[in-house]
């Protein structure tokens, strides 16, 4: 099988899987789960009994010496932006999927969900720089293009710079959006820019991690290589203190991420590579309704 055929097959598989998931995930919950369902002003008309007094337009009322009220209509169209971490640390995975595969699958599901609801979806693919920007558009063909890019992207650099991605999103997106950040969040110092986008957009972080990110197995001497710096180190996993320090480092990093998101008024979900992300997303959307 050629590489192109293989990619097209994977795209098709993800589309079918996404369709099944979307039916369960977003039946009646998709729009109602987000702050993005704003109200836009439509017109002013004469006040009648039962109208909400908070929407009386006092300027127009004074002009015509009679009460007038503003009419609003619900904004049904949303813009979904996916900020997808393509850095090499996501190639790691010991159980279930690799982090990259889980991120790709969740991004595909969210992209298809958006277009199935006739919303726009765009993507920012980033490592420690912006790898690719796909402006938000509607339609199945656009979603298929996004998924193809997610599957084939080869980052030009190894590191992670969340701040760069968040700033780029802020500079390119003027319309209020639902922004999903999909990453393992092995980075720091993006809290100020996260606060800025948190004020304007509805931000949801999807933190993906592997069991071994959190816990070292007890297997004696282990050679570890940092995927982003290529630094190699030997670790004695039979030493309880070494295992404990490793775990504490993971927890302190997770706590810092939680703090960043809480201060930005944004949501954060933790998803392990062997967990059912559909269930986690479903519960999250249901809770927000």
Asked if 169 and 191 count as a contact pair (C-beta separation under 8 A), the reply is: no
The H or E element containing residue 126 is strand 120-126
Select from 239, 95, 253, 266 the least CA-distant residue to 179.
266
* CA–CA dist 90, 99 (Å, integer): 5
**Together in a domain, 47 and 143:** no
**Together in a domain, 70 and 132:** no
Burial of 70 (0-12, 13-18, 19+ CB in 10 A): middle
Q: What does the block give as tokens for 176?
A: 């209020």
Select from 181, 183, 129 the least CA-distant residue to 157.
129
**Together in a domain, 49 and 190:** no
Confidence class of residue 1 from pLDDT cuts 50, 70 and 90? very low
The number of C-alpha atoms within 13 Å of 135 and in the hemisphere containing its C-beta is: 5
**Together in a domain, 175 and 214:** yes
> Model-level pTM?
0.78
pLDDT of residue 13 exceeding 50:
yes
**Together in a domain, 95 and 216:** yes
Distance (Å) of CA 255 to CA 20, 127, 225, 249, 262: 34, 22, 24, 10, 10
**Together in a domain, 61 and 188:** no
Q: Within 128-239, where are the H helices?
A: 140-152, 162-172, 191-200, 211-214
* CA–CA dist 263, 38 (Å, integer): 23
| Mean pLDDT, rounded, for 207-216 | 86
| Tens digit of each residue's pLDDT (9 = 90 or more) over 97-117 | 788 889 999 999 899 888 888
The confidence score (pLDDT) of residue 244 equals 87
Asked if 62 and 26 count as a contact pair (C-beta separation under 8 A), the reply is: no
**Together in a domain, 244 and 217:** yes
Burial of 98 (0-12, 13-18, 19+ CB in 10 A): middle
Average pLDDT, the chain: 84
* CA–CA dist 113, 102 (Å, integer): 16
| Tens digit of each residue's pLDDT (9 = 90 or more) over 20-42 | 777 666 555 555 666 445 555 66
- Alpha-carbon radius of gyration of the chain: 22
**Together in a domain, 166 and 179:** yes
**Together in a domain, 184 and 49:** no
**Together in a domain, 129 and 227:** yes
Select from 121, 249, 127, 258 the least CA-distant residue to 194.
258
Higher pLDDT, 39 or 13: 13
* CA–CA dist 241, 15 (Å, integer): 46
The confidence score (pLDDT) of residue 47 equals 85
Higher pLDDT, 231 or 126: 126
Burial of 67 (0-12, 13-18, 19+ CB in 10 A): middle
* CA–CA dist 270, 253 (Å, integer): 13
Select from 70, 79, 84 the least CA-distant residue to 42.
70
CATH of residue 25: 3.40.50.410
Range of the domain at 271: 3-31+76-288
Share of the chain above pLDDT 70, in %: 85
Residue where a domain stops, chosen among 51, 74, 97: 74
**Together in a domain, 277 and 245:** yes
11-20, 86-95, 122-131, 144-153, range with the lowest pLDDT: 86-95
| Mean pLDDT, rounded, for 89-93 | 62
**Together in a domain, 61 and 122:** no
Through-space distance between the first and last CA atoms of the chain, rounded to whole angstroms: 45
| Tens digit of each residue's pLDDT (9 = 90 or more) over 150-193 | 988 887 877 789 999 999 999 999 888 999 999 999 888 899 99
pLDDT of residue 224 exceeding 90:
no
Structural domain tally of the chain?
Answer: 2
Confidence class of residue 96 from pLDDT cuts 50, 70 and 90? low
* CA–CA dist 260, 262 (Å, integer): 6
């Amino acid at each position: 099988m050629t590489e192109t055929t293989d990619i097209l097959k994977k795209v098709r598989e993800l589309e079918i899987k996404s369709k099944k998931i979307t039916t369960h995930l977003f039946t009646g919950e998709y729009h109602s789960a987000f702050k993005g369902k704003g109200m836009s002003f439509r017109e002013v008309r004469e006040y009648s009994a039962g109208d909400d007094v908070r929407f009386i337009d006092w300027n127009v009322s004074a002009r015509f010496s009679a009460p007038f009220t503003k009419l609003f209509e619900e904004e049904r169209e949303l813009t979904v932006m996916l900020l997808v971490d393509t850095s090499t640390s996501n190639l790691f995975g010991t159980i279930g999927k690799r982090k990259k595969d889980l991120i790709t699958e969740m991004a595909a599901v969210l992209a298809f969900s958006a277009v199935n609801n006739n919303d726009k979806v765009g993507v920012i693919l980033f490592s420690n720089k912006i790898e690719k920007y796909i402006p938000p558009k509607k339609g199945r063909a656009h979603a298929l293009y996004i998924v193809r890019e997610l599957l084939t992207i080869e980052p030009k650099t190894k590191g992670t710079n969340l701040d760069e991605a968040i700033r780029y999103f802020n500079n390119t997106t003027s319309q209020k959006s639902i922004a999903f950040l999909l990453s393992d969040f092995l980075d720091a110092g993006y809290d100020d820019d996260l606060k800025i986008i948190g004020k304007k957009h509805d931000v949801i972080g999807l933190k993906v991690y592997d069991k071994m990110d959190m816990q070292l197995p007890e297997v004696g001497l282990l050679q570890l290589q940092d995927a982003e710096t290529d630094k190699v180190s030997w670790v004695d996993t039979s030493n309880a203190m070494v295992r404990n320090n490793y775990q504490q480092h993971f927890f302190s990093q997770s706590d810092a991420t939680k703090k960043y998101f809480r201060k930005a008024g944004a949501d954060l979900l933790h998803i392990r590579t062997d967990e059912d992300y559909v269930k986690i997303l479903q519960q999250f959307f249901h809770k927000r309704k």
